[in-house]
A and B are shown apart, each in its own frame.
Chain A
Amino acid sequence: MAAPHLPDIVSLAVPGFVLLVLAEMLVAWAKDKSRYEPKDTLTSLALGTGSTVAGAITAGFIYAMATWLYGHFRIVDLPNPWAWYWFVLCFVIDDFAYYLFHRSAHRVRWFWASHVIHHSSQHYNLSTALRQTWTGFISISFIFRLPLFLVFPPAMVLFAGGVNLIYQFWIHTEVIGRMPRWFEAVMNTPSHHRVHHATNPRYLDKNYAGVFIVWDRWLGTFEPEREDEAPRYGIVKNLGSFNLIWAAFHEWVGIAKDVWAAPGLKAKWNYIAKPPGWSHDGSRETSETIKALWEERERARERVEWMKPISSSSEEDRAVPRRPDGSARTAATR
């Protein structure tokens, strides 16, 4: 079977993205004006546009490398390689590769430096979905997708990646609460992804899925959204600036400064390869230290709750006026 012409579906989807952002703005205007902020929206969309420019510049190299890998190092010749079921399999495996990339993007500072752009908005709306990296190529995040080129035709893999990206657009919203239970069980949803974008200690470093939430459930990184704990979006140290260049490069600047100042080669390497927030003297906050502090505080609060008097020997009860026989005079008997 000859290779079919696969469209650039992300470019085709852009008008739909624009219309949906417009619709979500109208919902925000009617329900909660704080869901959108003009400067934040402009920053997100400008970062998204810059990302497509950066992608266009590096796409040729990526495609050439993918074609070379597929041509020279293919480990299997699929029968009828453009059959629909190979598309489905490719899509599922590509989504797992996305999970691995995404988890690494939060746990390895080098990858985080590129990915942090997507999390740097304190808002969570459809424009946030378009806030994409400029430095994905520099961070070599494409390596997670390379194994797929040893099996599937490059155009198929890149098409699957495009579908994955489009799927993830609609989950960046607070307009949708929960999807039906069966859908929430299998698919990534607005509810699951709100948790991923949250900085609440309970929610940090959870729900890395792209399309199928089953990877998180399987690998122990799933956390459901709770009714009693609304997500707070952004990053642990929010930028406090709408500067486009700073949003795109601040973590790279941070790495450069830390590596320069680090004592010894091991510390220099760790500032690149350890999780965000790692420091050689332990003076900074990581997800782990933030979670530990929060858990300690929660335990302290629970202890206070337990120590609150609840029996009739409580101060409130003792304050109730007594009859001469010692029985309490309740409001009804007064």
Chain B
Amino acid sequence: MTHAQLVQLAGSIIAILALAGFARWLKLGESRIATEEDARRFAEEALAGFEGGRALISGDGSAALVQGQGTIAVLKRHGAKVAVRRLVPPLRVREAVEGATVDTGEKLFGPVTLFGITADQVRGLEAPLTLV
């Protein structure tokens, strides 16, 4: 790379850090999964053919589980938006300090913790889907 290109690169890095810092300072990006209806809508919009039923919402609005017909949608707030995965029960769920954590099986998507929700509630949500 030439000297001019290196200067340009340094300038770009300073500019992007400044812009991201400005966005943070303006407190941009606020959102939450507020209601069961929200959760169902997000799941149905993100997953083709998904018909949402009962839902569990994390107390802080950062995550949710929605019962489908044979599958469960796991939702997590991703920045100001929501990212969704379709999981086949039984879910890998464990008790967390302030709620229940569901393992999505994807390292970069990560596990999803629902605050104020117990592992038993999660199992209750998936129970109708695992009956044979």
Contact = CB atoms under 8 A, between A and B. Distances in A.
B123 interface: no
Interface in B105-126: 106, 108-110
B127 interface: no
Nearest to B106: A240
Contacts, number: 127
B26 A29 contact: yes
A45 B17 CA distance: 9
Nearest to A238: B83
A123 interface: yes
Contact of B83 (A28, A57, A127, A240): A240
Nearest to B75: A240
Interface string A293-321: 11001000000000000000000000000
Contacts of B22: 22, 25
A182 to B, nearest CB: 34
Given A234-B81, A239-B83, A294-B48, A35 B76 contact: no
Nearest to B49: A293
A293 B8 CA distance: 48
Contacts of B9: 49, 52-53
Contact of B109 (A38, A127, A241): A241
A34 B45 CA distance: 18
State the main secondary structure of chain B at its contact with A.
Answer: mixed
Contact of B28 (A35, A234, A243, A250): A35
A281 B42 CA distance: 28
Task: Indicate the member of A45, A52, A57, A294 with the most B CB atoms within 10 Å.
Answer: A45
Given A35-B28, A49-B12, A238 B19 contact: no
Interface residues of A, number: 49
Contacts of B76: 240
Contacts of B24: 38
Nearest to B15: A18
Given A11-B8, A56-B5, A41 B19 contact: yes
Contacts of B21: 38
B88 interface: no
A14 B80 contact: no
Task: Indicate the member of B45, B46, B79 with the most A CB atoms within 10 Å.
Answer: B79
B19 A39 contact: no
Given A37-B79, A56-B5, A201 B27 contact: no
Contacts of B110: 240-241
Contacts of A45: 15-16, 19-20
6 contacts: A37-B79, A123-B80, A238-B46, A238-B83, A240-B83, A290-B48
Interface of A: 11, 14, 18, 21-22, 25-26, 28-29, 33-42, 45-46, 48-49, 52-53, 56-57, 122-123, 127, 199-201, 232, 234, 238-243, 246, 250, 285, 289-290, 293-294, 297
Given A35-B28, A40-B29, 17 more contacts: A14-B8, A22-B19, A25-B22, A25-B23, A25-B26, A29-B26, A29-B27, A34-B29, A37-B79, A38-B29, A41-B19, A45-B15, A56-B5, A122-B79, A127-B19, A238-B81, A239-B83
